[in-house]
């Protein structure tokens, strides 16, 4: 999840031809939690857009191939905080595989993310 503030909202779209109905442009957003997120590259014909996503379900339905100007998934990077990746800084790694299942002890839904290095990250969706 990303946090925005009203003073970061841009009153005029920097690229009016990209602004669709109901869209809002922001000068910045904040990621306030030490939780992984996704840097997703989407293609629309020859155009590309970047999606910052906190939830895997935001992009797993997007096909990797499409015709014409239809949306397609080009690339996904998993962005992990130091506590998750075992380093002293955030890391952005190419995501190669995504698996969904249930965590064996709790039974909660879980995602397994396999990055280019072969490292696996597990994210359990805890129910409230």
What pLDDT is recorded for position 23?
75
- Number of domains composing the chain: 1
What pLDDT is recorded for position 85?
96
- Domain assignment of residue 19, yes or no: no
Per-residue pLDDT of the chain (128 residues; tens, 9 = 90+): 789 888 888 877 666 566 666 777 788 888 888 899 999 999 999 999 999 999 998 999 999 999 888 999 999 999 999 999 999 999 999 999 999 999 999 899 999 999 999 999 999 887 65
Question: Residues 6 or more apart from 89 whose CB is under 8 A from it?
Answer: 82
DSSP letter string over 56-110?
GGGTTTS-S--STT-EEEEEEEEEE-HHHHTSSS-EEEEEEEEEEEE-TTT--EE
Query: Where in the sequence is the domain holding 79, given as residue range(s)?
Result: 6-10+28-124
- Domain assignment of residue 49, yes or no: yes
- Domain assignment of residue 1, yes or no: no
């Amino acid at each position: 999840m990303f946090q925005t503030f009203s003073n970061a909202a841009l009153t005029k779209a920097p690229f009016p031809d990209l602004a669709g109905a109901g869209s809002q442009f922001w000068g910045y957003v904040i990621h306030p939690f030490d939780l992984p997120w996704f840097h997703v590259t989407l293609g629309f014909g020859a155009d590309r857009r970047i999606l910052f996503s906190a939830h895997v379900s935001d992009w797993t339905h997007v096909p990797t191939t499409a015709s014409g100007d239809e949306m397609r998934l080009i690339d996904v990077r998993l962005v992990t905080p130091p506590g998750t990746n075992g380093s002293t800084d955030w890391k952005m790694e190419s995501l190669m595989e995504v698996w969904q299942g249930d965590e064996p002890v709790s039974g909660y839904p879980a995602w397994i993310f396999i990055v280019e290095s072969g490292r696996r990250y597990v994210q359990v969706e805890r129910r409230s």
